Amino acid sequence: MRYIVYIDRLFLLQLVQSCVLLLLTRAFLRSTVTLKRIVFASAAGTLLFCVIFLLPGISRNIKVLLFALCSLATLWLAFRIRTLQVFCRAVILYHAAAFLLAGALYALLHAAGRRPAMTTMQASLCAVGVGTAALYILRWEKKSAQAVIVSAILEDGDVKITLEALIDSGNSLYDPISQRPVCVVEKAALEGKIPLDIPEKFRLIPYHSLGKKHGIMQAVEIEKLKVKKEGQELVIEKALLGLYENKVTQSGAYQMILHPALLENRRNGHDIKSCNTRKNAV
């Protein structure tokens, strides 16, 4: 049996579908990816889809596998995913959006008098189920994000400053001379409270990927940094704080980014200065 395929219509249909799914995924992920990038990734993925569709002499199962890989490539291109955890989350939410959209379309077809593959009840249950699962994932992620925000007390002389701090595993900023880990704090939170220009406490730390590709960050040493986490108080003597000129987060939920090595080394009883095998990146 032979079929006539209008490739322009197939391309347009697949492009619209891909854009809608990526937009839903962006909403679920709360991503800031631009609409332009969504359209670009959808167009690239749709072009690849059409090429795979027109490939001759390939079995149906192989094409299904290639279509799945095409969807993963489109996701990666749209959201510039670099970690396996984020990629798995994006895949789950992308397919959740697909099931949610399919359920809604089936319900609309039934309401329009057409006979879909599923009944209205089945489609509605499918949509509700997938939507509930997506909301559960989002709430779980929100709670997980909140769990790594802790209270930090900065002490220098008679001054005590309490800030909300994020424990960020991506912070691998070190002082290249003393080899000590460096936390990042908003400069405005310390100005006028802690002296920032004392020569023996002043540092210059090279960094990359913090608002710029490369640069030099001012840093200051304080007498004590206390971190309250899970009912315990960890004390870090002579902590180094990198001074960030802007806000570390637009939401204002925290004003400081803690170096994970500080907590790990204190918990395991190791010397902080002895642990540095990574490049400076925040």
Distance CA 206, CA 42 (A): 38
Distance CA 165, CA 153 (A): 10
Q: Are 223 and 236 in contact (CB under 8 A)?
A: no
> Position 81: which residue type?
I
Residues 6+ apart with CB under 8 A from 134: 28, 93, 96, 97, 100
DSSP H/E element including 38: helix 35-54
Catalytic residue numbers? 168
**Cα 162–168–171 angle (5° rounding)?**
105
